[in-house]
Amino acid sequence: MNASIRKLFFLTVLMFGGLVVVLTWWQVVQEKSLAENPHNTRKVFAQMRIERGLILDNIRGELATNRREGDLYYRVYPQGDLAAHLVGYSDPVYGRTGLERSWNDYLTGTADEVELLNTLNTLMGKEKRGADLKLTLDPEIQRTALSAMQDLGKRGAVVVLDVKTGAVLAMVSTPTFDPNLLEENWTQLNADADAPLLNRATQGLYTPGSSFKLITTAAALDTGTFQPDSKFKDDKGSIEIYGNTIRNWRDLPFGDHDFSEAFSQSINTTFAQVGDKLGQETLIRYMRAFGLYQKPPFELPADEVMASGRYQDGKLMSPEAAMDPVQVAWMAIGQENLQVTPLQMAMVAQAIANGGRMMKPYVVDNVTDFDGTIIRQGKPQELAKPISRGTAADMKDMMIKVVNEGTGSRLKTDKVQIAGKTGTAEVEGRGPNAWFVGFAPAEDPQVAIAVVVEDADAFGSISGPVALKIILAALGL
């Protein structure tokens, strides 16, 4: 029997050896992929043991802070839905979005600059704590923008930039959500057809409609192809371009007019001709100069910022994609598969207001570690110079005319001279999207703004007053 017993023991050794092999597989070979499996909450909880840095607005008001339970920290958002999309959330179950996600390394103190000091502090018996983010966000402007949009009860977005620096002063997307109530509302938030979790300011793709005439005009003036006083004629209120009819709003004919009037009255027939004259190459060149066809360099996670440009089947088309002249004419008036984000349009307004110099948008003013030492300082950076100072000055005058005599009359006020451009983009089956893109005060521009309201009912009558409220708040008027 002993021979059989030895064989049996040999089998036992084989089985136990097999166990060690499988154990090695999981503990060594698969170690990393197990750690990164989304169902594995180890990493999340490890980070929950760290007191996350605060997120503060530009007057150090708390946008995100912590509540301690046992030895875990839970995020609390004292301002609720105020800047929910921008700040985002950090939740052990639902993950992270917004600045909470893109600045996670700093907020948890694991970024290189914070890590060393944190380690030293831990050795000295202090608790590990993340670094604080102070934003450029102005709570007053943000609150005004949010309530103006909420009063309308419409979907849409607002972006307000500091003209001189590119700093984000307000960024609103409606409908919004309360990041403190994710657990209660998660199913509903995801099922809601209005997509409250979507940051429309940076991810929302909208047909620019007439607001795109800003870029067409910039190209027309900057190339010297047209001047503000270039003459045009419009007898019929519509125009045949290569057998395709382009109409003015309500087919209104404008008769003899100049380019500046075509801009202030948003005359489609004239802009179709301008586009035709400029051609695809020039238009695309200026679109790219203004930053279209690439994601604006912004501090949110890359997948929360969309690039503007022509889209087909949900995908950004190549700027080189061939277009026929009809398509070019349609593009010049902001149609033809064009999709832009409010952030992108605010950047266009900022560049024009700033004498043609586009600043890189940023929202993190500085990052301070737990000792209050600034470890990262946000600095204004010039991003591009899409148009000359002269072109910018001419455009400003034309944009003033929009407000004073043209489609933007609802923004005319004694308190400040506003400059801008309206836009109304038809949407299949719903009311149009109403745009206002502009800046103020015209003589010395401080704030640039882009407002888009979905499912609006009339020409400039909705986005205009919202923009006016926000501009007045931003300028403290």
Positions that interact with other proteins (CB under 8 A):
1-6, 8-9, 12-13, 15-16, 18-20, 22-24, 26-28, 30-31, 34-35, 37, 39-40, 42, 45-46, 69-70, 72
Write the burial class of residue 430 (CB in 10 Å: 0-12 exposed, 13-18 middle, 19+ buried).
exposed
- Give the span between the Cα atoms of 413 and 403, in whole angstroms: 9
Instruction: Select 5 or 191, whichever has its Cβ closest to other proteins.
Output: 5
Task: Indicate the residue among 49 and 389 with the shorter CB distance to other proteins.
Answer: 49
Distance, CA of 63 to CA of 103 (rounded, Å): 14
Q: Look up residue 32 and give its two tokens.
A: 């990393």
Which two structure tokens, joined as six digits, stand for 203?
């991810």
Cβ closest to other proteins, residue 51 vs residue 365: 51
Shortest distance in whole angstroms from residue 13 CB to other proteins? 7
Residue 463 has φ and ψ, to the nearest 5°, of: -70, -30
Least distance to other proteins from the beta carbon of 69, Å?
7
DSSP sequence for 170-225: EEEEES---GGGHHHHHHHHHH-TT-TTS-HHHH--B--GGGGHHHHHHHHHHTTS
Residue 93 or 191 with smaller CB distance to other proteins? 93
Measured distance CA(237)–CA(246) in Å, rounded: 9
Closer to other proteins by CB, 41 or 294: give it.
41
Minimum CB distance to other proteins, residue 112 (Å): 23
CB of 36 to other proteins, least distance (A): 10
For residues 413 and 303, give the distance between their C-alpha atoms in angstroms, rounded to a whole number.
39
Decide if 54 contacts 62 (C-beta within 8 A): yes
Q: Which residue has the tokens 């087919």?
A: 251
Which of 147, 212, 157 shows the shortest CA–CA distance to 453? 157
Q: Which is nearer to other proteins, 30 or 294 (CB)?
A: 30
Residue 21 Cβ vs other proteins, minimum distance, rounded to whole Å:
9
Least distance CB 189 / other proteins (angstroms): 19
Residue type, 45: F
Euclidean distance between CA atoms 197 and 213, whole angstroms = 30
Q: Kindly tell me which of 70 and 314 has the beta carbon lying closer to other proteins.
A: 70
Least Cβ distance, residue 16 to other proteins (angstroms): 5
Q: Are 323 and 275 in contact (CB under 8 A)?
A: no
Which of 127/194 has CB closer to other proteins?
127
The CA–CA distances, whole Å, from 307 to 259, 282, 315, 448 equal 30, 19, 10, 19
Minimum distance of other proteins from residue 383's CB (angstroms): 44
Residue 125 or 153 having the CB closest to other proteins: 125
Tell the smallest beta-carbon distance from residue 469 to other proteins (Å).
45
